[in-house]
């Protein structure tokens, strides 16, 4: 199967002649493909899900992702995401001790129009980006195509699908998520995930029952809200979105169960009630309105020794290279930064230097991603091991960190600035 040059590819930037196959149409894969198109590469996506479904629940994009979305279609993609996303300008983030006392209201910074923040339903935001890639840019996205094998030689790389079909390109990008198949080829072994010791019960539902209950209706009647309750080794976050129309909560708690990571394991309300026994009763009042929930085990993987294959023709990107803890709120954003960086590197390196270029991409990304990953642990531990006497004296200490080195980062500018030096050692 040959990759076709789309007429719109040349409209975006001069064609580089580089052909890229992206495996996976999550935020990482879609961003990689969109940015490859922006930088003049020919790109196609292969995705195992047979049709687009609005899966998942709450997902966060920091300003460092907003800056990327803003560059798409002169800001119209970001404009479409805005009404789907939580608006906390009036409410801020109210942080409570699990017993109910309000500790602090963390104000939200003004939205930077060039680097907006988005928090909303993963499926709804994903649909906006997916449709932009497919309908507006005309990027071929082959749904229902599961990749079963990867291969490479010095000149090319390729994939084999479960149908037996084959496709080849200058570069294959394994943006195939936490249970990546591409990772096996790159590493040469199967890296078994480890339990992180935590799991998250997660739910998203309409406000129908919330507004019937006098204890909970205020969450849905005055715009969007965001509240957190923090206890020993556990935290509960509850938000209302789209002007209070939808409700979402996540409860992170200790869990050593050794089952596979998945967004689809159903959870049980009785188990949630056990975790929040003796808590602020409003937490149970919220949880009992939940029609269904997911029990998502958070797994760990040690940092991979490398993201790039022996011949430099296959690379990992996003969760396949570096899964994140939800408390970092940066997993999807870092996957997007990967995509931007890779596309810039390929443009700068050119068709004749793909392997060196892809190694430079890993080099540019590796330490930053590792440092951002760690913030997931530090935020979780700051909450779960809170010393409430100290917090009483310094309530700001319990706020969500918002760090400039993460949020003010411009992946595109950075890649342009450091590429020449990064690639030199691989030539």
Residues that bind ligand FAD (CB under 6 A): 23-29, 46-49, 55-59, 122, 146-147, 175-177, 181, 263, 318-319, 326, 331-332, 335
DSSP 114-135: TB--EEEEHHHHHHHHHHIIII
Q: How far apart are the first and last CA of the chain?
A: 31
- 94 CB neighbour count, 10 Å cutoff: 17
Structure tokens at 94: 């109210």
Q: Which three-class secondary structure state does DSSP give residue 91?
A: coil
Instruction: Calculate ∠ Cα 206-211-214, nearest 5°.
Output: 145
Q: How far is the CB of 54 from ligand FAD (least distance, A)?
A: 10
State how far the Cα of 15 lies from the Cα of 39, in Å rounded to an integer.
8
Q: What sections of 2-54 are H helices per DSSP?
A: 7-12, 27-38
Compute the least distance from the CB of residue 25 to ligand FAD, in Å.
5
Contacts of 417 (CB under 8 A, 6+ apart): none
At 316, list the tokens.
């990992």
Task: Report, in Å, the least distance between residue 146 CB and ligand FAD.
Answer: 4
To the nearest whole angstrom, how small is the minimum distance from the Cβ of residue 291 to ligand FAD? 16
- Alpha-carbon distance of 392 to 124, in angstroms, equals 39
In the complex, minimum distance from the CB of residue 190 to ligand FAD, in angstroms, rounded to a whole number: 14
Q: Which of 122, 202, 313, 348 is catalytic?
A: 202
Cβ pair 64, 115 in contact under 8 A? yes
How crowded is residue 271: how many other Cβ atoms within 10 Å of its Cβ? 15
Q: How far is the CB of 198 from ligand FAD (least distance, A)?
A: 14
Q: Which is nearer to ligand FAD, 205 or 426 (CB)?
A: 205
CA-based nearest residue to 8, from 51, 49, 55, 40:
40
Q: Does residue 82 sit in helix, strand or coil? A: helix
202 is catalytic: yes
Of 263 and 405, CB closest to ligand FAD = 263
| Closest distance to ligand FAD from the beta carbon of 311 (Å) | 20
For residue 173, give both structure tokens: 């990008």
Alpha helices for 222-353 (secondary structure H): 269-275, 281-287, 331-349
Burial label, 52 (beta-carbon count in 10 A; 0-12, 13-18, 19+): middle
Active site (catalytic) residues: 202
């Amino acid at each position: 199967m040959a990759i076709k040059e789309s007429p719109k590819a040349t409209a975006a930037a001069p064609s580089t002649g580089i052909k890229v196959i992206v495996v996976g149409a999550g935020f990482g894969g879609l961003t990689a493909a969109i940015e490859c198109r922006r930088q003049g590469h020919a790109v196609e996506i292969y995705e195992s899900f047979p049709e687009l479904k609005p899966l998942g629940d709450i997902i966060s994009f920091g300003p460092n992702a907003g800056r990327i979305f803003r560059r798409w279609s002169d800001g119209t993609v970001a404009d479409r995401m805005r009404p789907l996303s939580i608006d906390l300008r009036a409410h801020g983030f109210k942080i409570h001790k699990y017993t109910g006392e309000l500790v602090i209201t963390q104000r939200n910074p003004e939205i930077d129009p060039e680097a907006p923040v988005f928090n909303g339903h993963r499926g709804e935001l994903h649909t906006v980006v997916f449709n932009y890639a497919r309908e507006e840019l005309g990027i071929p996205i082959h749904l229902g195509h599961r990749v079963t094998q990867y291969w490479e030689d010095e000149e090319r790389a390729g994939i084999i699908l479960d149908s037996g079909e084959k496709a080849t390109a200058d570069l294959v990008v394994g943006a195939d998520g936490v249970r990546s198949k591409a990772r096996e080829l790159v590493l040469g072994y199967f890296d078994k995930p480890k339990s992180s010791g935590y799991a998250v019960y997660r739910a998203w539902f309409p406000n129908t029952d919330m507004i019937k209950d006098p204890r909970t209706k205020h969450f849905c009647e005055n715009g969007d809200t965001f509240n957190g309750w923090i206890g020993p080794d556990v935290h509960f976050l509850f938000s209302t979105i789209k002007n209070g129309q939808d409700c979402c909560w996540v409860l992170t708690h200790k869990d050593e169960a050794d089952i596979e990571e998945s967004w689809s394991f159903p959870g049980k309300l009785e188990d949630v009630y056990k975790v929040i026994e003796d808590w602020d009763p409003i937490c149970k009042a919220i949880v009992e309105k939940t029609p269904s929930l997911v029990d998502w085990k958070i797994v760990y993987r040690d940092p991979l020794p490398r993201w790039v294959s022996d011949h430099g023709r296959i690379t990992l990107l996003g969760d396949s290279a570096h899964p994140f803890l939800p408390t970092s709120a940066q997993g999807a954003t870092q996957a997007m930064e990967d995509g931007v960086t890779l596309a810039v590197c390929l443009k700068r390196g050119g068709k004749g230097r793909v392997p060196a270029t892809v190694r430079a991409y890993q080099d540019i990304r590796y330490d930053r991603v590792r440092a951002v990953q760690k913030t997931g642990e530090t935020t979780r531990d700051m909450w779960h091991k809170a010393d409430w006497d100290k917090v009483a004296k310094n309530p700001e200490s319990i706020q969500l960190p918002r760090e400039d080195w993460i949020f003010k980062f411009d992946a595109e500018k950075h890649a342009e600035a450091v590429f020449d030096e990064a690639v030199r050692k691989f030539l």
